[in-house]
């Protein structure tokens, strides 16, 4: 996760668009998922504290959660997932770009999942950074195995896929296209229209091993910079004319 944070520092956005008394609201999760507000302040990203607080303040009957996220913290993702599951509103997830790693399982709690044309969903095994002796590392490996098993249960409940197949997909870091995500039960349908163009995120996905090139949106072209007008080139100096003018000034009329 550290590599993901470093390479995407302060690249995303988290925004809630809601009108008082309106029947629908939109939440933009175009960001990484980090563990705390302190982490978010340094790296960027959205913490579960910020997300859950913003979500629980929405009283609209329908919430559109628009997602373009490379994922992040497992436990932060689980907290967000539970908040989505417990919310009284109908929550419709729109995968506008990618829903990878932690973002892929938190959306499983939504009432409906819609993939934008060209979007991707990715699942993989849990990562960690660890240190210590052999006993410490074995314990950490046991924790990772438990996390992977919990991912399998979450995806199985939503998709109906068998646990053995899901475990294979996790181990392979599997990226599902829009159509494939629907075909395998992770999403409900592909949207008729393309996702909004103002996602504003060019994720660096080098932390992942098998990210398809289609997931990496090209960087916006640099803005044209107006050139500073150049001073006109000086006219060539007529030395004889200057000399005659100087002599004339020196000789009284």
Q: CB of 203 within 8 A of CB of 215? A: yes
- Is 124 an annotated catalytic residue? yes
Q: Which of 64, 87, 94, 124 is catalytic?
A: 124
Q: CB of 150 within 8 A of CB of 75? A: no
DSSP symbol at 64? E
Q: List, in order, residues 6 or more apart from 121 with CB less than 8 Å away.
A: 95, 98, 99, 100, 104, 115, 175, 176, 181, 186, 187
Q: Which of 73, 101, 119, 177 is catalytic?
A: 101
Q: How many CA atoms lie within 13 A of 93 on its CB side?
A: 29
Q: What DSSP element (H or E) covers 76?
A: helix 74-86
Instruction: Give the active site residues.
Output: 101, 124
């Amino acid at each position: 996760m550290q590599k993901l944070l470093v390479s995407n520092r302060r690249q995303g956005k988290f925004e809630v668009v809601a009108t008082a008394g309106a029947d629908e609201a939109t939440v933009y999760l175009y960001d990484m998922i980090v563990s705390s507000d302190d982490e978010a302040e340094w790296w960027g990203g959205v913490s579960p504290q910020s997300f859950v607080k913003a979500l629980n303040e929405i009283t609209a009957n329908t919430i559109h959660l628009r997602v373009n996220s490379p994922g992040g913290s497992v436990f932060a993702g689980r907290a967000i997932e539970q908040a989505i599951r417990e919310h009284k509103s109908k929550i419709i997830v729109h995968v506008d770009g990618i829903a990878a790693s932690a973002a892929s399982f938190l959306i499983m709690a939504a009432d409906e999942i819609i993939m934008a044309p060209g979007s991707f969903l990715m699942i993989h095994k849990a990562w960690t950074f660890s240190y210590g002796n052999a006993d410490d590392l074995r314990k950490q490996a046991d924790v990772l195995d438990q996390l992977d098993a919990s991912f399998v249960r979450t995806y199985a409940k939503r998709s109906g896929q068998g646990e053995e197949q899901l475990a294979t997909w996790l181990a392979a870091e599997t990226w599902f296209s829009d159509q494939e995500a629907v075909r395998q039960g992770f999403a409900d349908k592909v949207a008729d229209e393309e996702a909004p163009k103002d996602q504003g995120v060019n994720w660096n996905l080098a932390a992942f091993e098998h990210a398809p090139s289609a997931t990496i949106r090209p960087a916006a072209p640099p803005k044209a910079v107006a050139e500073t007008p150049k001073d006109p080139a000086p006219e060539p100096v007529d030395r004889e004319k200057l000399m005659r003018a100087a002599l004339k000034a020196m000789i009284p009329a």
